[in-house]
């Protein structure tokens, strides 16, 4: 009988119906798994389901029965794909499940910051409206999106989804060419031009050596529009220490981040020192996590398990 072990059920919201595959199997589920528990818990398993629990070479070499790793996420940097390839282990991920939730979360951050909702909400809580001598007051800037420029880094399905929303708001949308790369064609605007011209810069690129810290001190110094900086993609695309320096220097007007370089954040993360500011919003990596998106994600997981069992693996990374 096929043994399937799910290492981190708690990373999928409680609203999700965690359906099981239809073929005969033994299902073992853990809420959380520490790295030092991986080998013990996967002993005898044919299939591992793991969202964020790393499965590295040492574990792969110690698990002779393992035939598949199914990742309920798109990113797979926590898994040693080279070791899996050497062993013939199939690795499948999920894709396209967040086509609505991430763009919507991105625009929730943009709208809240562009219209200073956090600052005005706090003013009402603090009694500022009650003390005002007129029907409204102007403690914070309020800017329309219509007519402004949206710069998008990453032209995949999520970047395209954000572009559609931007266009619906009447924004001029620019897709940035890859940093340091020329000749990508007319659909792309040179990287530096996007940095200089955008009122809002939003990240939707994968994290890899070419994109790590692609927005740092140099880029902040080029920003003529004092843009909002939004990241609902991967921590590490923006140099976080440089980001705080840019905010302090008035080079940018606000920060909306759903991802950080280390999650949960370490106490020395620079963004933790500015959370109380009205032009800063940090959410705990929840852009992907609408009920609808998570159910779609899990349905894909079950589909991949079924396909593997039939001998036709799908969404193979390895």
Over the stretch 116-164, which tens digit does the pLDDT of each residue have?
999 999 999 999 999 999 999 999 999 999 999 999 999 999 999 999 9
Lowest average pLDDT, out of 183-187, 188-192, 270-274, goes to 183-187
Residue with tokens 């790393």, as numbered in its chain: 54
pLDDT, position 98: 96
Which of the residues 86, 263, 277, 316 is marked catalytic? Answer: 263
* Marked catalytic residue, from 41, 234, 304, 309: 234
- Please tell me the distance from the alpha carbon of residue 173 to that of residue 151, in angstroms, as a whole number: 6
Is 234 tagged catalytic?
yes
Average pLDDT, the chain: 96
Cβ-count burial of 93 within 10 angstroms (0-12 exposed, 13-18 middle, 19+ buried)?
Answer: buried
pLDDT digits 0-9 by tens, 216-247: 999 999 999 999 999 999 999 999 999 999 99
Give catalytic status of residue 263 as yes or no. Answer: yes
Q: Is 309 a catalytic residue?
A: no
Average pLDDT over residues 11-27: 96
Confidence of residue 295 (pLDDT cuts 50, 70, 90): very high
Distance CA 30, CA 73 (A): 17
Cβ pair 256, 138 in contact under 8 A: no
pLDDT tier, 277 (very low <50, low <70, confident <90, very high otherwise): very high
Give me the pLDDT at residue 261, please. 96
Among candidate residues 115, 285, 303, 306, the one labeled active-site is 285
State the Cα–Cα distance between residues 95 and 103, nearest whole angstrom. Answer: 15
Sorted by where each starts, the structural domains of the chain and their CATH numbers stand as 2-97+291-310 (3.40.50.720), 101-282 (3.40.50.720)
pLDDT at 184 over 80: no
Angle at 39 between CA 80 and CA 297, to 5 degrees: 60
CA–CA separation, 90 and 316 (whole Å):
7
| Contacts of 27-30 spanning 24+ positions with Cβ under 8 A | 28/3, 28/4, 29/5, 30/5, 30/6
């Amino acid at each position: 009988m096929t043994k399937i072990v799910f290492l981190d059920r708690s990373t999928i919201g409680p609203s999700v119906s965690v359906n099981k595959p239809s073929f005969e199997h033994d299902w073992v589920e853990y809420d959380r798994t520490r790295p030092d528990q991986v080998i013990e818990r996967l002993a005898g398993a044919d299939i591992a389901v793991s969202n964020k629990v790393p499965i590295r070479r040492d574990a792969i070499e110690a698990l002779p029965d393992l035939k598949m790793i199914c990742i309920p996420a798109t990113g797979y940097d926590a898994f040693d794909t080279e070791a899996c390839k050497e062993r013939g282990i199939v690795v499948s991920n999920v894709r396209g499940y967040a086509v609505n939730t991430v763009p919507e979360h991105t625009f929730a951050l943009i709208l809240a910051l562009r219209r200073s909702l956090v600052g005005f909400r706090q003013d009402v809580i603090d009694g500022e409206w009650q003390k005002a001598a007129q029907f409204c007051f102007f403690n914070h800037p309020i800017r329309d999106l219509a007519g402004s420029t949206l710069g998008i880094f990453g032209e995949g399905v999520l970047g395209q989804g954000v572009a559609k929303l931007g266009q619906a708001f009447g924004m001029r949308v620019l897709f940035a060419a890859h940093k340091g790369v020329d000749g990508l064609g007319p659909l792309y605007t040179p990287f530096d031009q996007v940095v200089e011209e955008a009122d809002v810069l939003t990240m939707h690129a994968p994290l890899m050596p070419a994109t790590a810290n692609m927005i740092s001190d140099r880029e902040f110094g080029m920003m003529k529009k004092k843009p909002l900086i939004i990241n609902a993609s991967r921590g590490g695309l923006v140099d976080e220490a440089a980001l705080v320096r840019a905010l302090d220097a008035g080079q940018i007007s606000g920060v909306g981040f759903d991802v950080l370089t280390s999650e949960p954040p370490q106490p020395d993360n620079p963004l933790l020192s500015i959370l109380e500011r009205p032009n800063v919003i940090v959410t705990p990596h929840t852009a992907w996590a609408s009920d609808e998106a998570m159910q779609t994600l899990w349905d894909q997981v079950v589909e991949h398990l079924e396909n593997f069992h039939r001998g036709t693996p799908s969404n193979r990374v390895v």
